[in-house]
A and B are shown apart, each in its own frame.
Chain A
Amino acid sequence: MPQTLAERFSLKRFKQGSPTQKSFVVLNLRRVYILPNRAGLTLAAVIVFMLVASINYSNSMGFVFTFLLASATQVSTFFSFRNLSGIEVHGLKCAPCFLGQNTSASFIVKETEGRDRWGIVATIDGQQLSIAHLKPHQSYPINLPVLPSQRGWYSPNTLTLSSVFPFAVFRAWSPLLFAQKLLVYPRPLSFNQTIPSLPAALTNSSITSPSTGADDFSGFKTYQPGDPYRQINWKAWAAEKGLFSKQFSSQQSAQVWLDWHACSSANTEAKLSELCQWALTAEKAQLRYGLRLPSKLIPPANGDAHLQHCLQTLALFNLPADA
């Protein structure tokens, strides 16, 4: 993507990187920056001292070694650059997560030029991961923990690949800003593994026929995508009769509406948390559940896809559409 003049001259480029729409980038002269680090400045001071001593004693060998050291340091920048250039970095799709849950941004760092790379450090938001040695043509997965601060779509911050190889006096770095997006669901009331019961009022009002036992087998129906795997009649599948799901009477009857207005809390975020928790509980309890929000209605169903649909709706509730 061509950059505007303002973008080209903005100092932000060197820290945040220019955003890319591609799924991977190759580090090259345009993307790798290099500056002396603190040790480099110290070395510069040492070189100046050596130069002063050589001048003072008019010492030819002193000049030789002073200039040799300075030149070697200068030449080392090319090797710093070569240590990063030609590396491919792929931004991977990130799995959705709940707010407050630790998740990670995932990348793959790939050596493509058949050279050994040494001492590369990947950083996001101060979280570091170092790749001491990247072998020729090796792909190295990177998972760096990120902590989203609010629900909705979250873009991980700039990934910075850096290296001080070969002399540790220059730091070469490449800031990479991928268009990766991570869906953050609202924070559930608790991450407790035990299933808290649904609010009594909600359950009672919604269950249509509580007479049949919860786990009574009631027959087969043809498999539809979204049906839980554990209800598939594997025996029939093995006998090559086709894919059928087992039906249980309670499932048909236990239908709940997760209603915005039934929430106990007043605050929007808290309500979303509550609805999120109910959805998880209902899914665990294998109920059929629907979601009723002020702006949207999701008819009752169950299964993984349904749960994710509900959670996504909750996550993006009342957020600007472009995010």
Chain B
Amino acid sequence: MLKSRLNITLMRLLLGIASLLVLPHIGTLNPLFIVISLALIAWSAFVHFFNRFSPSTWVLLPLSLLLAFLVLKLHGMSLGREASSSFLLVLLGLKLLECRRQRDVLAVIFVSFFVLITPFLFEQTIALALYGLCLFFLLLCALVVNASSSTAIRPAVVAGFATQIGLLAIPLMLIGFLLFPRMIGPLWAMPKDASNAVSGISDSINPGQISHLALSNETAFRVRFNDASPAFNELYWRGPVFWQTDGQQWTVSLNATRRETANDLSPVNTLYRYSLVLEAHHQRWLYSLDTPIASPDQVRLTQDNQLLLKDKLRRTRSFDLLSNTQAAPEILTDKDRLRALALPQNTDQRVYQLAARWQVDADSDIAVINKGLAHFNQEDFYYTLTPPRLGVDPVADFLFSTKRGFCGHYATSFAVVLRAANIPTRLVAGYQGGVYNPVGEFWEVRQADAHVWVEAWLAGRGWVRFDPTAAIAPNRIQHSIDFNNQRLGGEVRFLIEPSEGFSNWALQFTSLLQAIDYYWESGFLAYGPEVQRDFLSSLGIDGWEQMVLWLAVLSGGLILMVTLFLYRLGVRKVDPSQAAYLAFCKKLGRRFTYKKPAETSLHYFTRIAALKPDLALALQQIRQQYLLSRYAKTDVRKLLALIRSFRF
């Protein structure tokens, strides 16, 4: 019963597509729902191929309600992207199970289209996009098979239709993609789960914090300099600035005031213009080459040189920035001086003693700082990704007992000691270095490049950057961390020497892949409201009204063009012999008398023969040949030759 009604090939196709739709969700969604949806698909395969265990409505209805409740229950009764993806997967399985008529098949296909875009809410890689395109193609095939309602339609024919339609749809899709007005911000409150598990620098820093990032090869952002790049050891990518500490951790202050005056005293030869494609990191700050001196639209440049967005960055965006590595000094207000010297009450006395030791014989702040850096270099300090656990007072523990740590340890403890030595200090988090991609000519900065350093206020010089990590592990500042050779607990390795042979090739190949990925991200994924506005206004399209207008005009024009093309195709071709005959009649008409619309060739030629009796024979021949080629389908060329040889 069931088999006869639904095309078995179509069912096979739909079940295959459904399984392929579940696959990309493995690892992102709750495994329970992956298992449930695969089980539902397997069940419906059983029903359709063996015609057994077909569920009745009395089973399906409670099952659907139960599963819907389960989805909501396990996702805190809110419909975020994980909940809705799970929900759609379960719905797909249930719909397959009750697939009995053509209408149900369409419903399954429609749900599949929706499910198709859900993996992209979690990641938007090129590989996943290609996978999605393949599935999209298969879904178009399923639509065609379903609509043909014929088992005679061959797979090649189906694929042909799907390909043609898919390819023709691309120009129209591009128009929509480019011109559909993008809105800033979500339509409703952003479900919280969208910011889950984003690695990167957070809004508070404790000594051990950065080390977990060193093992992450994820891209933080990519930078393309308009002109030459600065030297590697100048590549400090400035992020949030930390002023406050409670002894355990440092917290960021994002309500800093806007910087009033532009920094016009900076030298011009250290000015860098660049565009930076920042991955969604769900924080408000941007990263920029130290020190940013101008802010793009809707970004605030603060007094302490942070670039702050109004809202958290929830999607990859591209920014055009301007920095100067030798920025002019700023002013330090008394209030800020107090903030930059504040230490928690319970600071260990040994910290003050250490500060005092550094101050002995030092006639200036810079001498104290240099002594401090020398202390880190000469004492028994080690740079490691797996430092021992620290106690209640991490600074004292690190400085006086463990002495093993990562940039976070060095920067935080250095800052604390400097404050104890009465030098205004703040902590800056960000990234250092990056990997240059020669193929795409851009710098790729990965999470592994995350870094923390110290800025100290020196009278007359302003805020100056000091990096205690450089004193311990100079290689860290000269080279990027070699992620591929990084081992937890092993030595920290850096990308120092270019590898040779196969490894070199592999490196080049990786560069190529990363370059492709860069263009994918900067050109495609970063196409949001701001990029769209800039891009379209460079074409003279301003504002959403004009976007909608152009969207309508271009897509309408495209559709009209195809329609006209079809119309031209649809015009019936005149039989060639008839065309030749009619052209001949027109010629005769100009010379003698026109053919009446209802007149046959016999009548007309007789009329002409009466006027010009010497033409009668030739006309008779032409008439015969015309009738032959028109109705007996003989070669039309004979007729054409006769007409050509006709002399008036």
Q: Is the CB of B176 within 8 A of A70?
A: yes
Report the minimum CB–CB distance from A76 to chain B (whole Å). Answer: 6
A65-B110 in contact given A57-B121, A59-B121 (Cβ < 8 Å): no
Stretch with Cβ within 8 A of A (4 or more), from B381-389, B402-410, B481-489, B562-570: B562-570
CB-nearest residue of chain A relative to B148?
A: A118
Q: Name the residue on A nearest B168 (C-beta).
A: A75
Q: Is B161 touching A54 in the complex (CB atoms < 8 A)?
A: no
Complex: A76 Cα to B161 Cα, angstroms: 9
B125: nearest residue on chain A (CB-CB)? A61
Could you tell me the distance between the alpha carbons of A165 and B171 in the complex, rounded to whole angstroms?
22
- Cα A322 to Cα B173 in complex, Å, equals 57
Q: Find the B residue at minimum CB distance from A40.
A: B106
A61 to B125, CA, bound (A): 9
Residue B261 at the chain A interface, CB threshold 8 Å = no
Q: Which of B238-274 contact A (CB under 8 A)?
A: none
Interface flag for A21 (CB, 8 Å): no
> A60 to B527, Cβ gap below 8 A?
yes
Given A67-B180, A76-B165, A119-B147: A132 and B566 within 8 A (CB)? no
Q: Are A119 and B165 in contact (CB under 8 A)?
A: no
| Separation of A141 and B102 alpha carbons in the complex (Å) | 27
Residue of A nearest to B564 (CB): A29
Q: Which residues of A contact B120 (CB under 8 A)?
A: 59, 61-62, 65
A24 touches B (CB below 8 Å): no
- A residues within 8 A CB of B107? 42
A287-318 to B contact mask, C-beta < 8 Å, 1/0:
00000000000000000000000000000000
Question: Which residues in A have their C-beta under 8 angstroms from that of B566?
Answer: 29, 78, 81-82, 85
A28's nearest neighbour on chain B, judged by CB, is B570
Of the candidates A26, A53, A57, A169, the one whose C-beta lies within 8 Å of that of B572 is A26
**Nearest A residue to B315, CB-CB:** A58
Stretch at the interface among A43-51, A190-198, A230-238: A43-51
Q: Number of contact residues on B: which range applies?
A: 35 or more
- Interface flags, A57-94, vs B, CB<8A=1, else 0: 11111111111111110111011011001100000000
- In whole angstroms, how far apart are the Cα atoms of A61 and B188 in the complex? 20
Candidate in B143, B170, B567 with the most chain A CB atoms within 10 angstroms: B143
Q: A116–B106 Cα gap in the complex (Å)?
A: 23
CB neighbours of A129 from chain B (8 A):
none
Which single residue of chain B is at the shortest CB-CB distance from A26? B572
Contact B143 A46 (CB under 8 A): no
Judge if A166 is at the interface, Cβ distance under 8 Å.
yes
- Distance between A130 CB and nearest chain B CB, rounded to angstroms: 7
User: Does chain B have a CB within 8 A of A189?
Assistant: no
Q: Which of B184-203 contact A (CB under 8 A)?
A: 186-188, 190, 194
Interface residues in A194-212 by Cβ distance below 8 A to B read none
Residue among B107, B524, B570 facing the most chain A CB atoms (10 A cut-off): B570
Which residue of chain A lies nearest to B567 when distances are taken between CB atoms in the complex? A29
Q: B421 at the A/B interface (Cβ < 8 Å)?
A: no
Would you call B150 and A50 a contact (CB within 8 A)? no
Q: In angstroms, how far is the closest chain B Cβ from the Cβ of A210?
A: 59
B140 at the interface (CB under 8 A from A): yes
Knowing A65-B136, A133-B153, the reply to whether A39 touches B81 (Cβ < 8 A) is: no
- Is the beta-carbon distance between B187 and A56 smaller than 8 angstroms? yes
Contacting pair B525 A62 (CB below 8 A): no
Most A Cβ at <10 Å: residue of B121, B525, B563, B567? B121
Name B96-133 residues within 8 Å CB distance of A.
102-103, 106-107, 110-111, 113-114, 116-117, 120-121, 124, 128-129, 132
Chain A, Cβ-Cβ closest to B107: A42
Contact with A along B487-530 (1 / 0, CB 8 A): 00000000000000000000000000000000000001101100
**Structural contact, B173 and A39, CB atoms closer than 8 A:** no
A68 → B minimal CB distance (Å): 5
- A98: shortest Cβ distance to chain B, in Å? 36
The answer, yes or no, to whether A229 is at the interface (CB within 8 Å) is no
Chain A interface size range:
35 or more
In the complex, are the beta carbons of A75 and B169 less than 8 A apart? Answer: yes
Q: Is B326 an interface residue (CB 8 A)?
A: no
A59 to B315, CA, bound (A): 8
Q: How far is the CB of A119 from chain B (nearest CB, A)?
A: 5
Partner of A46, one of B113, B128, B183: B113
Quick check: B117 and A68 within 8 Å, CB to CB? no
Q: How far is the CB of B4 from chain A (nearest CB, A)?
A: 15
- Is B371 on the interface with A (CB-CB < 8 A)? no
Which residue of chain A is the closest to B105 with respect to CB atoms? A168
Given contacts A56-B187, A81-B566, A132-B150, contact A49 B114 (CB under 8 A): yes
Q: Which of B169, B186, B525 contacts A71 (CB 8 A)?
A: B169
Q: Beyond A60-B524, A116-B157, is A71–B150 a contact (Cβ under 8 Å)?
A: no
- Find chain A residues with CB under 8 A from B582 CB: none
> What is the distance, in angstroms, from A158's C-beta to the closest C-beta of chain B?
22
In the complex, chain B residues whose CB is within 8 Å of the CB of A35: none
Judge whether B166 and A72 touch: CB under 8 Å: yes
Q: Quick one: which of A63, A118, A168 contacts B143, CB cutoff 8 A?
A: A168
How far is it, in angstroms, between the C-alpha of A26 and the C-alpha of B111 when the chains are bound?
Answer: 38
The answer to whether B110 touches A118, judged by C-beta atoms less than 8 angstroms apart, is no
Whether, in the assembled complex, B638 has its beta carbon less than 8 Å from a beta carbon of chain A, the answer is no
Report if B182 contacts A (CB, 8 A).
Answer: yes
Q: How far is the CB of A56 from chain B (nearest CB, A)?
A: 5
How far is it, in angstroms, between the C-alpha of A94 and the C-alpha of B176 when the chains are bound? 52
A95 at the interface (CB under 8 A from B): no
Residues of the B chain whose Cβ atoms lie less than 8 Å from the Cβ of A75: 165, 168-169, 172, 562
- Within 8 Å of chain B (Cβ to Cβ): is A319? no
CA of A261 to CA of B200, assembled, Å: 107
A78 to B562, CA, bound (A): 8
Contacts A/B (CB < 8 Å), 12 sampled: A28-B570, A46-B110, A53-B121, A55-B183, A67-B176, A67-B180, A68-B173, A70-B173, A71-B176, A76-B165, A119-B147, A167-B144
Known contacts A118-B153, A119-B147, then 12 further A-B pairs from the complex at CB < 8 Å, ordered by chain A residue: A39-B106, A56-B186, A58-B182, A59-B124, A59-B315, A60-B525, A63-B176, A65-B117, A67-B176, A70-B173, A71-B173, A130-B149
A-B complex: 3 closest residue pairs judged by Cβ atoms: A71-B172, A67-B176, A71-B169
